C-alpha cells in the first residue's frame, strides 16, 4: 500500500513537471505573438511611407547622376591636382610643386575632412570617389569624354622629398599626364 502511494505521487510529480513546462512554452509563444502582431501591423502601416521615401531617394540619385555627368562633360579635358594637408607632404607640395604646375590645372585640397575647391563640393566628392584610389594622395585627375582618369603620384612626391627625384622630374611627370 505504501509503495502504491509512492508510485502515484511519483507519477503525479512527473506529470506536473510536464504540464508546467507545457504551460511555460504556451506562455512564451503567447508573449512572442503579442509582440509580433503589433510590430507587423506597424510595418504594414509604415510600408507605403518607406516605399515613397525610397522612390524619392532613387529619383534624387538619378537626377544627381545626370547632373554629375553634365558636370563631367562640361569639364571635359580639365585636370585637377588633389592633395591633402598631411604634414609630411604639405610644405613640399605648397612651396615647391604648386607654383610649378601649369595654370590650367585646378587645385583640390583636402583639409581635414573638408574639400577646398572652386567647384561644387557634391560633384568634386563624387569625382574623387570615382577616381582610382591606388597608391594614395596626392593625385592627378583628368576628365576625358566624361570619364575620370586618375594617377597617384604619392611615391613620386615622397621620392622628391627624400631627394631620390628632382622636383623638375616630378613636374615633367605631371605635365606628361596632363598632355
Residues 68 and 102 in one domain: no
Which helix (H) or strand (E) covers residue 166, if one does? none
Residues 11 and 64 in one domain: yes
Domain region containing 56: 1-72
Question: According to the 3-state scheme, what is the secondary structure of 80-100?
Answer: EEEEECCHHHHHHHHHHHHHH
Give the end of a domain, one of 30, 52, 72: 72
Dig out the grid coordinates for 17 from the structure: 513537471
Beta strand 79-84 with 147-152: parallel, antiparallel or unpaired? unpaired
Exposure of 88 in the CB half-sphere (CA atoms within 13 A): 10
CATH number, domain of 128, equals 3.40.30
Residues 132 and 88 in one domain: yes
Distance in angstroms between the alpha carbons of the first and the last residue of the chain: 109
Residues 85 and 101 in one domain: yes
- How many separate domains does the chain show? 2
Give the end of a domain, one of 27, 48, 72: 72
pTM of the model: 0.67
| Residue numbers of the chain with a pLDDT score lower than 50 | 2
Share of the chain above pLDDT 70, in %: 89
Residues 172 and 92 in one domain: yes
Residues 96 and 171 in one domain: yes
Residues 103 and 118 in one domain: yes
Amino acid at each position: 500500500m505504501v509503495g502504491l502511494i509512492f508510485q502515484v505521487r511519483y507519477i503525479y510529480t512527473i506529470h506536473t513537471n510536464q504540464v508546467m513546462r507545457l504551460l511555460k512554452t504556451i506562455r512564451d509563444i503567447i508573449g512572442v505573438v503579442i509582440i509580433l502582431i503589433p510590430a507587423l501591423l506597424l510595418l504594414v502601416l509604415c510600408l507605403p511611407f518607406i516605399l515613397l521615401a525610397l522612390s524619392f531617394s532613387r529619383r534624387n540619385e538619378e537626377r544627381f547622376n545626370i547632373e554629375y555627368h553634365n558636370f563631367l562633360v562640361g569639364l571635359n579635358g580639365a585636370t585637377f591636382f588633389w592633395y591633402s594637408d598631411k604634414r609630411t607632404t604639405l610644405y613640399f607640395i605648397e612651396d615647391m610643386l604648386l607654383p610649378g604646375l601649369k595654370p590650367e590645372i585646378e587645385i583640390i585640397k583636402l583639409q581635414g575632412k573638408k574639400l577646398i575647391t572652386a567647384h561644387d563640393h557634391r560633384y568634386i566628392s563624387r569625382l574623387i570617389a570615382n577616381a582610382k584610389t591606388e597608391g594614395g594622395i596626392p593625385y592627378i585627375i583628368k576628365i576625358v569624354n566624361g570619364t575620370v582618369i586618375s594617377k597617384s603620384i604619392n611615391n613620386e612626391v615622397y621620392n622628391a622629398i627624400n631627394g631620390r627625384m628632382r622636383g623638375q622630374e616630378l613636374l615633367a611627370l605631371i605635365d606628361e599626364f596632363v598632355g
